[in-house]
Amino acid sequence: MTTYTPPKVWTWDAESGGRFANINRPIAGPTHDKDLQVGEHPLQLYSLATPNGVKVTVMLEELLAAGHDAEYDAWLINIQEGDQFGSGFVGVNPNSKIPALMDHGTGSRVFESGAILLYLAEKFGAFLPEDGVARTEALNWLFWLQGSAPYLGGGFGHFYAYAPEKFEYPINRFAMETKRQLDVLDRQLADNEYISGDTYTIADMAIAPWYGTLMQGTIYDEAATFLDAQSYKNVARWTDLVTERPAYKRGKMVNRAWGEESGQLRERHDTSDFETRTWDKIKPVKENSADE
In this predicted structure, the answer to whether residue 80 has a pLDDT above a threshold of 70 is yes
Residue 65 lies in a domain: no
Residue-wise pLDDT tens digits, 149-172? 999 999 999 999 999 999 999 999
Looking at the 3D structure of the chain, how many domains does it have?
1
For residue 50, name the pLDDT band (cuts at 50, 70, 90). Answer: very high
> What order of strands is seen across the sheet that includes strand 72-76?
72-76, 43-47, 100-103, 108-111
Q: What pLDDT, on a 0 to 100 scale, did the predictor assign at position 288?
A: 46
Question: Percentage of the chain with pLDDT > 90?
Answer: 85
Confidence of residue 260 (pLDDT cuts 50, 70, 90): low
pLDDT in tens, 57-70: 999 999 999 999 99
Residue 280 confidence (pLDDT)? 82
Q: Identify whether 9 is part of a domain.
A: no
Instruction: Look at residue 153 and tell me if it is in a domain.
Output: yes
Phi, psi of 137 (to 5 degrees): -65, -40
Is 58:51 a contact under the CB 8 Å cutoff? no
> Does residue 110 lie within any of the structural domains?
no
The CATH number linked to 164 is 1.20.1050.10
241-278 burial string, b = 16+ CB within 10 Å, else e? bbbebebbebbbbbbbbeeeeeebbbbbbeeebbeeeb
pLDDT of residue 190: 98
- Mean pLDDT value of segment 38-42: 98
CB 80 within 8 A of CB 23: yes
Looking at residue 151, the DSSP 8-state letter turns out to be I
Chain mean pLDDT for the chain: 93
> Is there a domain that residue 70 lies in?
no
Whether 103 is in a domain gets the answer: no
Is 86 within the bounds of a domain? no
Q: Which residue has the higher pLDDT, 132 or 21?
A: 132
Find the domain containing 218 and state its range.
Answer: 132-249
Place 290 in a pLDDT band, splitting at 50, 70 and 90: very low
Give the pLDDT mean for 218-239. 97
pLDDT at residue number 27: 94
Residue % of the chain over a pLDDT of 70? 93
78 contacts 22 by C-beta, under 8 angstroms: no
In a domain, 208, yes or no: yes
Give the Cα separation of 89 and 79 in Å (integer): 11
pLDDT digits (tens, 9 = 90+) for 189-218: 999 999 999 999 999 999 999 999 999 999
pLDDT of residue 24: 84
